[in-house]
Structure 1
């Protein structure tokens, strides 16, 4: 449930918020270590049992708690895969003296074939196969069903592993909540955090990892700056916001320095993780949100950008790209260097009127597809059918 670990924890919070509005009480059991109770001021109870041992995060404390408490709940949703929590739920559900509740699994894109490309993740791809054979498949194939955020995720999840025989496959969607109305203090908070010197800017806001295509983003932005013709009005700054505590993030900062060393027009700022008003100031203030990801199950940051009226420049590996493109709120291209360069070229070729129209479309797209009220209604319906 630590926000720095990625989008799953934010998805969990959004789902819970929507269900609570419909009278559903939720609690979370997780493999996190929090220094004190209610560490993130969540509106629901969190049982944090510690991170566990090894890459599998083995933690018998979680297993013992599930054995004692799982029967007290009407329904269990397992979020994410490839760690011990999935097998612990399976073990608890098979106890003869336990009246197990209905159990659903929400993979959050973790069954996507991209993760099994040996050339990309050789060690983890082999590890996942072993985890699948000895642990993961048991819960996947015995649970009451799998829950997906979109149709593309459901279709892709059928590809990489066998035997894959879930009892049901349900598309419940996903929404986001707590998108605040714009306030001037948000712009000020962002400017206090990031020195863009009054220039317009593009925004990347996510984990800085190989999966997100950050290297493609830096390379294509360099091409944009190299080909820029208007010397009196330099290109927008590229703000890359996300945790900087990884080796990959360090390499990306070096790559940016190298690529722009001889280009006085371009500027890339690594802002670190943005939160609170600074984050919303970034979303509201940027010209466009850019995410050339190689694999993106849903893209909560993409939807947050739409909610702020910000057009999105995304790869066709963001699984909700078809819906956003249908509303003319996105520019979409392949997750390659050529495709990412195309995102910038197509955006800068638009007139001011066309860019403003896309901003309006972004807000309308969010309102019609991704509000928490609409998504929680569908989510609850999917949990209930076949009960």
Structure 2
């Protein structure tokens, strides 16, 4: 079987969609599937060269063994890529399935235009982009999307062989954004691969880069610095518990795509805890895994999160997760006792931090013991790869 992923950009700063492709790639290829990616990036982008080099070396970091076709440059915020439709019309027939990753940008509409009326089936991962949180939070943007929806994304979803959701909550929420909605829905498992096992060495490398964190009780945030992630809630809630233990330290790791970090730092300064928070930027590879292993807990008080790959990664590293009930896998984590769940507001974020700090060592160790069991039974990527191929085969 040959699969083609279509995505607006493979820039790792984009977060979940490209990370999902990377995580799925190895187990899917292990099942005998060839995977290619086409994107709207400029082929001169540094991250494209890095991905291609890793692919050529068959290294497990990045996207090994996968050909990335960069058809950029793309234009405007919409990601218009004029070479995409001609390329798809010329090459898509060589694939058994085309998978669209994300909507609301040109690549999804281009797949519909190019494959409409052909024998090549396409599938859509919405990656949470139909969550009603966006409608409620950005009503003007939602109105703009309504003007676009009937002649573009509605048709993209309507004609897809399957619209694939990463959990049941995401599927149900997607129905609430637009009343004109028609899709042949499917729910897949989703997840991540086993993390590197050399945890002590990775922690040492992380502390070598960040010596000020040695000996701290680290609460780790690792994701995009974005309004929907609840970063401001975490900073304020941490300020309310920081005095309980001088060794408590918050690490806010991730790319800043909207310029919000400056405001968050000013917030921390006003709260008197600027010296208790580190901002290392985007962490990748050994530094990312070192941060996970060095942390005591992982925090993600998101207002909207269709799955949360970083949550699964934290569990895989044996770290209890402190999350909001807007992270769509919260029910599974709560049921397994692998973390703490509360509302996506200040009181909920504070409640999670206080419950963690109030735990006895026996209670905390018992929760830690459940994290990897939760990961292996629910969020290991091998299950996700098998389910994805099952969806494709059943629908053909």
* Partner of residue 270, structure 2: 258
Mapping of residues 75-224 of structure 1, within 5 Å: 75-94=97-116, 99-117=118-136, 120-166=137-183, 168-177=184-193, 179-194=195-210, 195-224=212-241
Change (3 A) 1:182 1:127: farther
* Deviations 1:308-339, CA, capped at 9 Å, x for gaps: 00000000000001111111001000000000
Mapping of residues 205-284 of structure 1, within 5 Å: 205-226=222-243, 228=244, 233-244=245-256, 246-260=258-272, 267-284=276-293
* Partner of residue 324, structure 1: 333
Partners of 2:116 and 2:309 in 1: CA distance: 34
Partners of 1:258 and 1:33 in 2: CA distance: 41
CA contact (8 A) 2:42 2:74 kept: no
CA contact (8 A) 1:240 1:270 kept: yes
Query: Once the 2 structures are TM-superposed, how far is the Cα of residue 183 of structure 1 from its aligned partner?
Result: 3.4
Change (3 A) 1:85 1:244: closer
Partners of 1:350 and 1:200 in 2: CA distance: 14
CA contact (8 A) 1:306 1:312 kept: yes
* Deviations 1:42-98, CA, capped at 9 Å, x for gaps: 320111112511121111101110111111111111110000001111111125xxx
Query: Once the 2 structures are TM-superposed, how far is the Cα of residue 197 of structure 1 from its aligned partner?
Result: 4.1
**Does the residue aligned with 1:237 lie in a helix, a strand or coil?**
strand
Query: Once the 2 structures are TM-superposed, how far is the Cα of residue 254 of structure 1 from its aligned partner?
Result: 1.5
Partners of 1:192 and 1:175 in 2: CA distance: 30
Q: Give me the TM-score of the superposition, normalised by structure 2.
A: 0.90
Query: Once the 2 structures are TM-superposed, how far is the Cα of residue 130 of structure 1 from its aligned partner?
Result: 2.2
Considering only aligned residues, what root-mean-square deviation do their CA atoms show, in Å? 1.7
CA contact (8 A) 2:224 2:257 kept: no
Partners of 1:276 and 1:26 in 2: CA distance: 22
* Partner of residue 4, structure 2: none
Where do 5+ consecutive residues of structure 1 fail to align? none
CA contact (8 A) 1:288 1:312 kept: yes
Say whether 1:340 aligns with 2:352: no
**Does the residue aligned with 2:213 lie in a helix, a strand or coil?**
coil
CA contact (8 A) 1:219 1:259 kept: yes
Q: Give me the TM-score of the superposition, normalised by structure 1.
A: 0.92
Where do 5+ consecutive residues of structure 2 fail to align? 1-9, 55-62
Partners of 1:192 and 1:235 in 2: CA distance: 18
Partners of 2:314 and 2:248 in 1: CA distance: 18
Query: Once the 2 structures are TM-superposed, how far is the Cα of residue 245 of structure 1 from its aligned partner?
Result: 5.5
Return 196-205 or 252-261, whichever deviates more: 252-261
- Count of residues in Structure 1 that have an aligned counterpart in Structure 2: 373
Partners of 1:272 and 1:329 in 2: CA distance: 27
* Deviations 1:133-163, CA, capped at 9 Å, x for gaps: 2311111111111111000000001111132
Aligned partner (choices 359, 384, 387) of residue 375 of structure 1: 384
**Does the residue aligned with 1:39 lie in a helix, a strand or coil?**
helix
CA contact (8 A) 2:40 2:71 kept: yes
Query: Once the 2 structures are TM-superposed, how far is the Cα of residue 383 of structure 1 from its aligned partner?
Result: 1.9
* Deviations 1:189-240, CA, capped at 9 Å, x for gaps: 21123221421211000000000000000000011125x2xxxx51410000
**Does the residue aligned with 2:179 lie in a helix, a strand or coil?**
coil
CA contact (8 A) 1:213 1:335 kept: yes
CA contact (8 A) 1:38 1:45 kept: no
Return 59-68 or 334-343, whichever deviates more: 59-68
